[in-house]
Structure 1
């Protein structure tokens, strides 16, 4: 009989420490990616999309509260990349940690499903996870900068709005994408692969042309986005919306295309409105279509089960013997 060699599992504290460092590293990388696409609005630096918030909410939804130390450490690393941390930096770290945690708690209380297969899931992610919870990070961050004297009070409103929208867009665009990738499975080869390839080509070719056009043609992105959401739901809508948002941000930073000749405030306002419209359209339309498809599948299954039950009853009834006795005549 062959000997069985036992493999000792790593101690739980070591696993938690490695997982914390992994989450912190991903948060820091996402933060550097977001900072690479900065805009200047009214003399202040803003980020139209802040990916770390979406990453943090997705980690909490998928793995639970043990991710909180990693989120806090990642936020601290991002702040340290600007220099030494002070009281305002500690407050920003606390706000950037508390906001995803509050988003996670509210989504759990609302019965949020990771599949985002219902309209109520999309609405909960937008209005609870993004718009409501991110008030904490934006309010705390801007408040700490004002108290420390690093932010003039006349810039308070615009910086808070940009901070809030950037954090919210991170949740709307990045969180669904990460949830989708976590449970992604390759579908069987079919004609939809050809349609998906055609959609990818259309998006990669037409979207940059639309963005860099000297005529404002941003509205032409929405038929493409609707096509992606209708045919592929989240798998098509969210990546398409994220690609359009990133492309629009790059064009806005270059002051080209639809953003040429605009002031800093006009550029930020148009970009935020465009990104927000993309995210809401992709997320909510995909959720509606998924819910309808699931309802149709449920009805079809119920019809099949009903037909099988009727066939079983008919088969049982045809074999029932007649009454005893012969002809009365």
Structure 2
């Protein structure tokens, strides 16, 4: 028995170390992907969608606060890839770690569910996990850049806004996808497969046309999001939103499509407005549809249970009824 307990005690730190390394690797991979989608704002190169924040919040909601060390380690790897470590890097590291952790505690305080099946879950993710908590990382990061002289004071608000919105978009676009992907089930009916293929083909044709066409046609993506939400709820709409955000970011970075004749600031503002409106539309609309479907299923189950109870009661009354109730009194008693 002592040997079994000892093995369990030794295995727990090993699992914790493995989880930390996995979280750090995923955070770093998200950072490398985010660096591929760079745009210029206020003289600084920023990422309009910063995936590591979404990865960090998703891991925190799945594994709990014990994975904060993996987030810090992953943020350290990203900083080492970007620049040489200095004293100011410690502050950036603290801010990038503290923001997702604070977002996690705010979401838990609000009773957030990882299945994101209620409207209140989406509202909490938007205003607590994204817009609220990410103020920490953007404020600390911009203040340190100004304090070290790397950022002129006149550009601080533009960089702060781009930093904050980029971190928030990472939570809004990446966290729901990571939380819902393990719950996605392969369609069993051929009709659902046809719908899924049709949605993929439609998104593959419509989104590139809207994001790379010189005409301002980004608005045509919203009916696609509505269709995806109606037929596939949150997983379908968020995947379409993520795909649209990636292509729109590439178009803004290359100054093509609707961003062709815009300045750096105009392209950044339009891109962030598009990403934010698209993420909010997908989250809130899908949450309302999911709540309606869950309510309908609950009503159907309640009706089915009521029918079963009535059938049992009817069968019990029929079994306890005397035989002459239907055929009249027994013979010899007329």
TM-score (norm 1): 0.94
* SS of residue in 2 equivalent to 1:201: helix
Question: Counterparts of 1:328 and 1:182 in 2: how far apart (Å)?
Answer: 72
Question: Counterparts of 2:15 and 2:192 in 1: how far apart (Å)?
Answer: 41
Q: Deviations over 1:115-148 (max 9, x none)?
A: 1000001111001000100001111111111111
Question: Counterparts of 2:20 and 2:68 in 1: how far apart (Å)?
Answer: 8
Equivalent residue, structure 2, for 1:105 = 105
Question: Counterparts of 1:159 and 1:115 in 2: how far apart (Å)?
Answer: 34
Equivalent residue, structure 1, for 2:48 = 48
In structure 1, stretches of 5+ residues that fail to align are: 1-7
Equivalent residue, structure 2, for 1:239 = 239
Question: Counterparts of 1:27 and 1:320 in 2: how far apart (Å)?
Answer: 68
Equivalent residue, structure 1, for 2:257 = 257
Equivalent residue, structure 1, for 2:273 = 273
* SS of residue in 2 equivalent to 1:48: coil
Question: Counterparts of 1:89 and 1:268 in 2: how far apart (Å)?
Answer: 25
Structure 1 segments of 4 or more deviating over 6 A? 323-329
Question: Counterparts of 1:252 and 1:281 in 2: how far apart (Å)?
Answer: 21
2:86 paired with 1:77? no
Q: Deviations over 1:1-52 (max 9, x none)?
A: xxxxxxx676322222222112111111111110111111121111100000
Cα RMSD for the two superposed structures: 1.7
Equivalent residue, structure 2, for 1:25 = 25
Question: Counterparts of 1:19 and 1:319 in 2: how far apart (Å)?
Answer: 61
C-alpha deviation, 1:328, in angstroms: 8.7
C-alpha deviation, 1:90, in angstroms: 0.6
* SS of residue in 2 equivalent to 1:319: helix
Equivalent residue, structure 2, for 1:203 = 203
Question: Counterparts of 1:172 and 1:249 in 2: how far apart (Å)?
Answer: 15
Which stretch shows the higher mean deviation, 265-274 or 35-44? 35-44
Higher helix share: 2
Aligned residues: 322
In structure 2, stretches of 5+ residues that fail to align are: 1-6
Equivalent residue, structure 2, for 1:4 = none
* SS of residue in 2 equivalent to 1:303: helix
* SS of residue in 2 equivalent to 1:45: strand
